[in-house]
Structure 1
């Protein structure tokens, strides 16, 4: 087994090897070595440094929190790193104190009288480095698992216990015929796959950002390319991780084929939604940002997922519409080829009002509303003679359906009301006149 620390700056490796002993040797040898006078001094000095680090770290954390509260407009990843540093300030201060103590003791005393402090300083520094590295992982559970796993690894590494731990984990195994699955193989698979997934996520995020910035690609093709890139990266990370630790992918391929046949019958709707999502991205029938109507649902598309489309309505509700419904159902896309949307409103005026004046006033009133286009002027036509009024239709155009349809109709109606009032144009309502005929029962009673 490797000795605990190699010969460095005059440290005798045989002394350290005697202190810790070989893997699997009696632990008492290690404990007896710790009870030597200078080793106890080093342990005491390390504990004093820890106490000072706790006091200083508490003060520095409070100062750093006050400073972080004043930060505005910083990216989320920077704040996450600063928060990780703030939480580990005690470890950072402890590592600095240990390294400073080690340098002083190494220069003023025998090198062998400071080697325990050097080992502890390396371990604490490695813990701090691990904490910074694991911030690359966004998933909280996976980040916590990687943190404790790497802390255990670096601790065993500096104490020379890697080989012993590996032999123990390899001895814990399950055998199925010729297939042997050990705890060591599972741990390696988790570590390698986790690292590959982390790099895949980073590359996927950067690629997605670059693709979305490209103005030459349509929104639907952007989503399709991003989905393909993500599938390729994460799929490759998964299979490379299994292959790297010695798993036989041939058997996995046969098993996945059998599972695929079973899932094909049980998950028809899921598969249909997945295929429908690909079709939507390819034919560009809808894309993020489009305003659509599907049945009673009216809103704009936030995102196109593998299984569903996210649609947000004007009242803040978010609907998750299965992709299959968007393929098989009747969808009104208000902004498919362009953003122009025509709206119609109906109204009536009294028979005594000049229809030529009514049409002119209605068009001018509609043009005063901000969202109504003047480049495509409104038009007004008579559509019929009703029982109580002359009926009209007013048509106008907008280019921002995401801003809502009901509100712009309401604004046009208000403009009509004000304009008609200014020009003394009346809006009639149904009236009924009841006549009592002479000789009827009601007329006789009235005379009596």
Structure 2
């Protein structure tokens, strides 16, 4: 107990000094002149005493730290009593109290210093004002006297301020020692608490194991009695033994449950202490949730057992109603045993709800505290010293870093030496055999790689994949021995199993050279030509080498700073220097990026996709560095590291996604080629089925990428991040009185995008394959469009449902839409519904020849939901609204069939024979190939005109095989030739003029 007595003496001394610091001297202006010198002397003596007290407390703290280091070695073998633990807790609280009082004293001194400086500034202002005043000769003596008094007061204030500053500096050093002592006491109490809990658990485990052994022995005895019991006439005796055996089994299980409940109680105390110390992490929250689930399952199990026991008692009571004699006694004993089991189960069930409530409260409090800790940790800024003493301490701490590093290096070497000496000699022989096999494996690997290089280089054509694979093999070949020796060191670590700190220290010192060597070798392999780097690539390689080497050095320094036992403030400043260095590397990295991309564009035959991957990765690196370095330079070190980790994971995940996406593109390309080559329905596969799989795999890959990003960052189980994401996802928007959340809007957007894409896909599939037996292309197109509309309507309703819109309340929006239609969207809605009517009634189809209002004549090329497209004979596309087709008459030349009747009128002279002309016309019609014989052409003497005999010619053509313009042209030329050959002339208008007289 001498350790605690010394601790309380130190704490008492600190508190007394603290109370002395907290006293504020009276203002100098209120003191009589003879007390001023006395005040200064008291101040000086106080400063001297405080300096001496600081030396004493520092020395005592060092002694206590050494004493604790000695006690800590044997603490695990020391029996920790509850009284000893209480004394440690009291010492911890006293240390914290002393530290808090030190803070209060420093705050008082700071307030006093500010007040004195303000008074000095006020007096200096008065003195300056007095010096500038112009007074008469009579008042000059009074002025000089006032100036003299003010000057003396200012000098006195200066001396007091200087003494207060000295006190404040000493108080800061006292605070540092108090803080270190508080940390020592907290660490000591934590160690003692862990050892005490471990010893308590061990004692409890021993007791419970003894009880379990007792019940197991008793269960074996009962089982032997049950096995030796005869079946004839002893059914109730067997029932009693079964009941007793069941009771023993339940007691055995209760012992195990009691042990678990005791462990949970210890865990509850541990979690409560973590809450008080604000040192929770995400694993603790997960453990609390796991224990809560375990207790809930235990409660359910006990309730089920209790119900089974009740049912068993009810069945037993039915069987024992008519018993008498010895069977009645056995029945009563069996029933009493079951009732005992029921009572025990009931008591256990009643004990669980308060414990579950307590765990739930601890979890809720821990969850809130964890969120607060995460926020405070991320937003914690680096502390910059505000005084010269602080800067001096910072310099001294930096000077101690090499000493601490050297000590850790010696400890690591000593630990490896001890672990190597502890390995038995027979294991060293096995290790030697393993080392030899490992080295032989890498020698054989290098020979195999050399043979493989020759085969790959002999290939006539090298694809990008083969070149990449060849480069990776060369990289493995160059680093084979380095990897081999690194593997041997890892094997030694695995066999010897030194402590964790020594292992990490050795890994940080040894493995970075391999991490630096591999990128340098890769750069050399990419830039070299015939084992020599060309002059135009030497600058790029030189920049890469320096950036990689210096970055590796800073990474080692920063990692060691986080590993060895140095002050957290020094670690923050080393992180700041590392981030400052990172900010300086942005410009070289951008230059290297530009040169690298230029090199790849010229030398490597890359596809656009892979070139985009390289561009993205090379751009993400400097952007990450800029973000992290800026956060670190402004003081947010933890936030900078967190952002760096998240952005690194983002870059890794996006890089993997881009690579997998490119690989998927290549696989789809090969699949399409295979389908075209070996499948009878190659077009179906390449145009419709494979693109659907491509799209679905792309969506699955995107979802997997997002999930991987959250999983690698640990956000799936992080309640703080989960809470932030939920708040963002549940952010509400109010549109037309309907509430939306960002999550629902995002899901609805994705759903609608997929529905529109799937609608287009289903339209193509139905037109090409499902409705392929429909000969009418217009009907087929209309059905496919109608199917697309059905899919879009269903998808729209699904999207609205995903957005959280109740379709029964959608009437408000529909009413607003109706008002909008009535005011401004009338024409659009008219055309939309007219398009639906056109699809249903089918008055025209794609390919029909129509004449609309004597304005547009041509072929229908497209039927849309709002309009149709007509290509005129002048090759002009005319867009006609659907409402015009519904509300007005139009001519469809090919609605029922593709036969078109054409009528011509031909006149011959009265001097010619009309019978001969009719025969010539019929003969000419039969010789024109585009004119159909069925229905047959008709030639009719139509009328006797003024100067010619007019014939009407009616003939039919098939618009699918012939053109009306071409057929008309052929017919007219043929009639001209045939009439001319027969001497029949085409009359032209004549007029006879009769002159009655000439004068």
The alignment's TM-score, normalised by the length of structure 2, stands at 0.32
Q: Equivalences for 1:269-284 in 2 at 5 Å?
A: 269-284=827-842
The equivalent of 1:317 in structure 2 is 876
- SS, match of residue 366 in structure 1: helix
1:210 and 2:210 aligned: no
1:195–1:285 CA distance, 2 compared to 1 (3 A): closer
What SS does structure 2 have at the residue aligned with 1:37? helix
Is the contact between residue 740 and residue 803 of structure 2 (CA under 8 Å) also seen in structure 1? no
In structure 1, the partner of 2:658 is: 127
Contact 1:349–1:390 under 8 Å retained in 2: yes
- The alpha-carbon distance between structure 1 residues 287 and 204, as it changes in their structure 2 partners (threshold 3 A), is closer
Say whether 1:89 aligns with 2:441.
no
For residues 169-204 of structure 1, give each alpha carbon's deviation from its aligned partner in whole angstroms, at most 9, with x where no partner exists: 348654699975444543343334434443444344
Q: Say yes or no: does 1:350 pair with 2:909.
A: yes
Which residue of structure 1 aligns with residue 822 of structure 2? 265
**1:348, 1:392 within 8 Å by CA — same for their partners in 2?**
yes
How far 1:53 sits from its partner (Å)?
6.1
2:787 aligned residue: 229
Residue 226 of structure 1, CA deviation? 2.6
318-327 or 338-347, larger mean C-alpha shift: 318-327
Query: What is the aligned counterpart of 2:801 among 224, 243, 265?
Result: 243
Distance 1:336 1:207 in 2: 23
Summarize the Cα distance change of 1:55–1:176 in structure 2 as closer, same or farther, 3 Å threshold: closer
Superposition pairs for residues 409-448 of structure 1, below 5 Å?
409-437=968-996, 440=997, 443-444=998-999
Structure with bigger helix share is: 2
Match of 1:295 in 2: 853
- Give how far 1:314 is off: 0.9
State the match for 1:105 in structure 2: none
Bigger strand share: 1
Greater Rg by CA: 2
Measured on the aligned residues, the alpha-carbon RMSD in Å equals: 4.9
CA displacement, residues 410-441 of structure 1 (integer Å, 9 cap, x when unaligned): 3321221122222221111112233433xx3x
CA distance in 2, matches of 1:290, 1:194: 34
CA contact 2:867–2:879 (8 Å) conserved in 1: yes
Structure 2: stretches of 5+ with no match in the other structure: 1-280, 284-372, 382-550, 559-577, 619-646, 669-687, 692-698, 716-720
**Contact 1:220 1:282 survives alignment (8 Å):** no
In structure 2, distance between residues paired with 1:207 and 1:269? 30
Alignment partners' CA distance in 1, 2:735 and 2:971: 76
Cα contact 2:831–2:865 (8 A) shared by 1: yes
1:37 alignment partner in structure 2: 555
Higher relative contact order (CA 8 A, sep 6+): 1
Measure how far apart 1:392 and its partner are: 1.0
Q: Is residue 56–residue 90 contact of structure 1 (8 Å, CA) maintained in 2?
A: no
User: Is structure 2 residue 951 aligned with structure 1 residue 392?
Assistant: yes
Q: Separation in 2 of the partners of 1:212 and 1:393?
A: 44
Alignment partner, residue 306 of structure 1: 865
Please give the secondary structure, in 1, of the residue aligned with 2:967.
helix
Please identify, of 367-376 and 384-393, the stretch whose mean Cα deviation from structure 2 is larger: 367-376
Could you give the per-residue CA deviations for residues 198-254 of structure 1, whole angstroms, max 9, x where no partner exists? 3444344323433442326x5554344334322232223233234335444443x12
Do the aligned partners of 1:339 and 1:401 also contact (CA within 8 Å) in 2? yes
Confirm or deny: 8 A CA contact 1:379 1:394 kept in the other structure.
yes
The alignment's TM-score, normalised by the length of structure 1, stands at 0.65
State the secondary structure of the residue aligned to 2:813: helix
Deviations, residues 4-31 of structure 1 (Å, cap 9, x unaligned): xxxxxxxxxxxxxxxxx967843899xx
Q: Distance in 1 between matches of 2:603 and 2:921?
A: 69
Secondary structure in 1 matching 2:822: helix
CA distance in 1, matches of 2:649, 2:865: 53
SS in 2 for 1:213: coil
Preserved CA contact (<8 Å) 1:91 1:128 = yes
Q: CA deviation at 1:348?
A: 1.0
Secondary structure, in 3 states, of the residue corresponding to 1:397? Answer: strand
Alignment of 1:255 onto 2:812: yes
> Is 1:371 matched up with 2:914?
no
Distance 1:338 1:193, change over 3 A: closer
Equivalent residue in structure 2 for 1:26, among 378, 396, 421: 378
CA contact (8 A) 1:285 1:336 kept: yes
Equivalence for 1:54: 597
Is the contact between residue 57 and residue 93 of structure 1 (CA under 8 Å) also seen in structure 2? no
Rounded Cα–Cα distance in structure 2 between residues aligned with 1:373 and 1:26: 88
Contact 1:365/1:416 (<8 A) preserved: yes
Closer, same or farther in 2 for the Cα pair 1:321/1:404, shift >3 Å?
farther
Q: CA, structure 1 residues 165+310, in 2 after alignment: closer, same or farther (shift >3 Å)?
A: farther
- Kindly report which structure 2 residues correspond to 1:10-21, keeping only aligned pairs within 5 A, or say none: none
The separation in 1 between residues aligned to 2:883 and 2:730, in whole angstroms, is 51
Task: Give the deviation of 1:315 after TM superposition.
Answer: 0.9
Aligned partners of 2:940 and 2:951 also within 8 Å: yes
Tell me, yes or no, if the aligned pair for 1:53 and 1:93 is still in contact at 8 Å. no
> Matched residues in 2 for 1:329 and 1:339: separation?
23
Matches of 1:59 and 1:164 in 2, distance apart?
A: 49
Contact residue 310 and residue 321 of structure 1 kept, 8 A: yes
- The answer as to whether partners of 1:23 and 1:164 remain within 8 angstroms in 2 is no
How far the C-alpha of 1:346 sits from its partner, in A, is: 0.8
SS of residue matched to 2:953: strand
2-side partners of 1:277 and 1:175: how far apart? 34
Change (3 A) 1:180 1:271: closer
Counterpart contact for 1:130–1:151, Cα < 8 Å? no
For residues 190 and 131 of structure 1, what CA distance do their matches in structure 2 show?
25
Structure 1 gap ranges (5+): 4-20, 65-84, 97-115, 139-145
Identify the range of structure 1 (41-50 vs 377-386) with the bigger mean alpha-carbon deviation: 41-50
C-alpha distance in 2 between matches for 1:51 and 1:164: 41
- Change beyond 3 A, Cα 1:357–1:283: same
Q: Is the contact made by 1:277 and 1:308 (CA closer than 8 Å) also made in structure 2?
A: yes
**C-alpha contact (below 8 Å) 2:858/2:873 kept by paired residues:** yes
Change in CA separation of 1:48 and 1:165 when aligned onto 2, cut-off 3 Å: farther
